[in-house]
Amino acid sequence: MPFHPSLPRIRRLPYPGDGARLLEAIAHRPWSVLLDSGGAGAGFPRGRYDLLCGDPFMTVVSRGGVTRVRRRDGSAWESRDDPLQVLRRVLGEPLAPLEGLPFAGGAVGYLGYELGYRLEGLPLAPVEPGTLPEMALGIHDWCVVVDHRETRAYLATRGRDPATARVWPDLVERFSRPAVPRESAPLRARAPLITDLEPQDYATRFAQVQRYIRDGDCYQVNLARRLEGATDGDPWRGYLALRRQSPAPFGAYLNLPWGQILCNSPERFLHLRHGAVETCPIKGTRPRGGTAAEDADLRRALWESPKDRAENVMIVDLLRNDLGRNCATGSVAVPSLFQVESYARVHHLVSTVTGCLAPGRDALDLLRGGFPGGSITGAPKRRAMEIIAQLEPHRRDVYCGAIGYIGFDGAMDTNIAIRTLVHTRGRIRFWAGGGLTHGSEQEAEYRETVDKAAALQALLRPG
């Protein structure tokens, strides 16, 4: 679609200090999205950009083996083809990048964990009442980019939607100043949340995983439990509170027709730019200490832990193999191993795996080769996913899927959707899990899920 000749492709905006202040103007509209680096001054090494979008001119939604593409005018078509192939057709031929900006239009949204069963050729998980589609992406022609490193902000477009030319002046006006926050009630649980795996239920499944490991079926399985309950209040207010108490470099807020996603993820899944590929798996967690000395001891214990290092290496090897499917031979490397990253409530053990994209491959090939992320399935991945489907009482939904963007220029950045809440019809649900190996101890692993869930539970606590 030709771009309107009088419309600039990039417009400088006043730096707002925080992208969330700009999303306030559209946060309550369906398909509004914030990809959040944690806010200005968060201090994380990869937390540079906030991206916000709204009013997509197409949507791509996959549910139960059918992918539906809907245009803004209401026209639509459906396909039972591979959802990533459908998305490739929708995105069209790649455009040249706009230098200096990570994203200026393309697909923004999520790929749910259960999409991985279809990509892996496994039986589809049964659809449960209230669950979200396996994939939901808006195709956006404009984006606001907030660059915290350079303290600058931009409105950018690729001109693939003719309507952008008509609304451009309004967009410039709207995002040139933060909106006045809307009065609304904080997000709170009406009663204590209910888990689908009480300690005894978790113990039974833990023992089953250990049997699978002893029998040689697998080396590691990520077992998660879900917490769920009724809520009152505004999920957008809830997201703002979540990021204040525990900022993260790969957070996100998505307001979708079926509900809201509040993501506080510290973990990058797949990043692609100019052929350079990066993934940063997390394996190994400790809570923050109550004093500086206790905190330093916990941090050191994580870094020195043979068990956590072994788990981390296991997943690094899995991801090296996943990247190797679509990267040039010999290009996959591990430049960083066992780095401890500290967040508001936990320490994480993080490694970095890189590669160079092979000729003829693209972002969607990378997703197909690596989704869902190995750090939240186990090894070998396919067998671990089968065991997860057998042992966990409910679908994972968005949890352990990926949230992010794929640009019209072929660039991509996605997270692993952990520390993620799903709000639908006045109810909230979230998950907490961890990788189980032959060296795992049941009580310690259950305690890790408690530590990971603590910030989300604190967010919803009344008072």
Query: pLDDT (tens digit, 9 = 90+) per residue, 257-316?
Result: 999 999 999 999 999 999 999 999 998 888 888 899 999 999 999 999 988 898 899 889
Given the residues 267, 341, 386, 448, select the one marked as catalytic.
267
Distance linking the first and last C-alpha atoms of the chain: 52
For the chain, 463 residues long, give each residue's pLDDT as a single digit of tens: 444 544 558 999 999 988 999 999 899 999 999 999 986 544 444 578 999 999 999 999 999 889 999 999 999 999 999 999 999 999 999 998 888 899 999 999 999 999 999 998 888 777 788 889 999 999 999 999 999 999 999 999 999 999 999 999 999 999 998 888 888 899 999 999 999 999 999 999 999 999 999 999 999 999 999 999 999 999 999 999 998 888 889 999 999 999 999 999 999 999 999 999 999 999 888 888 889 999 999 999 999 998 889 889 988 999 999 999 999 999 999 999 999 988 877 888 999 999 999 999 999 999 999 999 988 999 999 999 999 999 999 999 999 999 999 999 999 999 999 999 999 999 999 999 999 999 899 999 999 899 888 888 988 987 5
Considering only CA atoms, which of 437, 433, 432, 426 is closest in space to residue 453? 432
Residue found by looking up tokens 């941090």 in the block: 299
Q: Say if residues 100 and 49 touch (Cβ distance below 8 Å).
A: no
Query: Given this model, what pLDDT does residue 251 score?
Result: 95
Query: Given this model, what pLDDT does residue 454 score?
Result: 84
Q: What is the pTM of this model?
A: 0.94
What are the residues facing 255 on neighbouring strands?
32, 260
Strands (E), 207-309: 220-232, 250-256, 259-265, 268-273, 276-279, 282-287
Burial class (CB in 10 A: 0-12, 13-18, 19+), 56: buried
Cα separation, 140 vs 56, in Å, equals 4
Query: Given this model, what pLDDT does residue 2 score?
Result: 47
* Dihedral angle of Cα 201, 204, 205, 211, to the nearest 10 degrees: 180
Given the residues 24, 278, 283, 392, select the one marked as catalytic.
283
**Which positions ≥6 away from 257 have C-beta within 8 Å?**
30, 31
Cα separation, 145 vs 35, in Å, equals 10
Query: Given this model, what pLDDT does residue 8 score?
Result: 54
Active site residue 283: yes
Cβ atoms within 10 Å of 393's Cβ, excluding its own = 11
Cα separation, 139 vs 88, in Å, equals 12
Query: DSSP character for 328?
Result: P
Tokens of 30: 């369906």
Cβ atoms within 10 Å of 23's Cβ, excluding its own = 30
Cα separation, 455 vs 427, in Å, equals 18
Residue type, 2: P
Q: Where are the domains of the chain?
A: 10-460
Query: Given this model, what pLDDT does residue 370 score?
Result: 94
Considering only CA atoms, which of 401, 174, 447 is closest in space to residue 270? 401
When the candidates are 1.10.1370.30, 3.60.120.10, 3.30.565.10, 3.40.50.150, the CATH number that belongs to 10-460 is 3.60.120.10
**Which positions ≥6 away from 201 have C-beta within 8 Å?**
none
**Which positions ≥6 away from 222 have C-beta within 8 Å?**
375, 376, 377, 378, 384, 388, 400, 433, 434, 435, 436
Residue 309 phi, psi dihedral angles, 5° rounding: -65, -40
Cα separation, 317 vs 334, in Å, equals 10
Residue type, 129: P
